[in-house]
Amino acid sequence: MARVAVITGAASGIGRALAVAYAEQGVRVVAGSYPGDPHDPEQTAALVRAAGGECVVAEVDVRDPAQVDALAQRALDEWGRLDVAVAAAGVLRRAPLSELSDAAWDDMVSVDLTGVLRVLRSAAARMDDGGAMVAVSSIAGGVYGWGDHAHYAAAKAGVIGLCRSLAVELAPRGIRVNTVVPGLIETPQSSDPVNSLGPEGLRAAGAGIPWGRVGRAEEVATAIRFLTSSDAAYITGQELVVDGGLTVRMPA
């Protein structure tokens, strides 16, 4: 029986690349997409089908627990099972401390941290024993600090603590929970010149990475696919940094 995966943030970037990576190995996909996302999740579905896979698209705002529950339930309604959950939805907003309002903080945390909790909680309630879950953190917060992005970094750091704790709690059920910590990866989010580095900033940053370039979404996706596969059957509560060696290079 083919496994079934739920992915949030599947309209673009790492989420889209992961949907295709799963299709290549026969994993069916429920592609969750925020209704306001400018990227078309149907393009994700088309890529999945072109790779020989099966995909259904579902709108979800991870700030709404009912919508998150409906997303996980969609897997059961379509295919009668849920084996994998990946929380890849996230927002990124620049905000210096002097401009960081409570509302901006709360919204960031509701998506990038509490949204992860909602996805994993909903999936765990519908998974049989032996499932696997991954959340997407970031080196911003997960490893480094990032000026003008304290709310983002705090949420991403929190994801790691959340997944460590859930790994312990869900281990008796054989459900593994891990975190992927991407470095500088070329995605629509990181290519935003207002809230992130932008194309020029990414190109410049690539020179400081031992691998000589920023990463691709597909390279993070295959790491997630590994962590949710049987090849990682004894790996839980861990953080896998995917950064081309950026965080281990000794400063010049």
Question: pLDDT tens, 10-30?
Answer: 999 999 999 999 999 999 999
Task: Tell me how crowded residue 239 is: count the other CB atoms within 10 A of its CB.
Answer: 16
Question: pLDDT tens, 109-119?
Answer: 999 999 999 99
Helix then strand then coil, in percent of the chain rounded to 5, is: 45, 15, 35
Record the pTM: 0.96
Amino acid letter, 139: I
Distance, C-alpha 113 to centroid of its chain: 11
Rounded distance, CA 22 to CA 19, Å?
5
Q: What is the mean pLDDT of residues 171-190?
A: 94
pLDDT of residue 197: 82
Rounded distance, CA 81 to CA 73, Å?
9
Q: For residue 188, what is the enclosing H or E element?
A: none
Q: Label residue 234 by pLDDT band (50, 70, 90).
A: very high
pLDDT of residue 10: 97
pLDDT of residue 205: 84
pLDDT of residue 37: 87
**pLDDT for residue 132 is more than 80:** yes
**pLDDT for residue 252 is more than 80:** no
Which tops the pLDDT comparison, 191 or 57? 57
Q: What is the mean pLDDT of residues 83-112?
A: 97
- Inter-residue contact 215 to 183 (CB < 8 Å): yes
Q: SS3 for 80?
A: coil
Q: What is the mean pLDDT of residues 192-204?
A: 84
Q: What is the mean pLDDT of residues 169-192?
A: 93
Active-site residue, from 22, 34, 144, 152 = 152
Rounded distance, CA 142 to CA 8, Å?
20
Q: What percent of the chain has pLDDT over 70?
A: 100
Q: What is the mean pLDDT of residues 133-153?
A: 97
In the chain the domains, ranked by start, together with CATH numbers, are 4-183+216-242 (3.40.50.720)
Q: SS3 for 51?
A: coil
The residues with which 181 forms a beta bridge, in sequence order, are: 241
The residues with which 177 forms a beta bridge, in sequence order, are: 133
Residue 152 annotated in active site: yes
Rounded distance, CA 58 to CA 36, Å?
13
Q: Label residue 191 by pLDDT band (50, 70, 90).
A: confident
Question: pLDDT tens, 42-76?
Answer: 999 999 999 999 999 999 999 999 999 999 999 99
Task: Tell me how crowded residue 103 is: count the other CB atoms within 10 A of its CB.
Answer: 8
The residues with which 240 forms a beta bridge, in sequence order, are: 180
pLDDT of residue 148: 96
Q: Label residue 77 by pLDDT band (50, 70, 90).
A: very high
- Inter-residue contact 31 to 58 (CB < 8 Å): yes
Q: Label residue 166 by pLDDT band (50, 70, 90).
A: very high
Q: What are phi and psi of 148, to 5 degrees?
A: 70, 10
